Amino acid sequence: MKKIEAIIKPFKLDEVKDAMNEIGIQGMTVTEVKGFGRQKGHVELYRGAEYDISFIPKVKIEIVVADAVAEKVVSTIQAKANTGKIGDGKIFISSVEQVVRIRTGETGETAI
**What tens digit of pLDDT does each residue of 60-79 get?**
999 999 999 999 999 999 99
Q: At how many degrees (to 10) do helices 13-22 and 67-81 cross?
A: 140
Question: What pLDDT digit, counting tens, does each position of 2-24 carry?
Answer: 999 999 999 999 999 999 999 99
Would you list the domain boundaries of the chain? 2-111
Mean pLDDT to the nearest integer, 42-71? 83
38 pLDDT band, cuts 50/70/90, is: confident
CB contact set of 14 (below 8 Å; sequence gap of 6+):
none
pTM of the predicted structure, to 2 decimals: 0.86
CATH number of the domain at 2-111, out of 2.40.50.100, 3.30.70.260, 3.20.20.70, 3.30.70.120?
A: 3.30.70.120
Q: Are 17 and 7 in contact (CB under 8 A)?
A: no
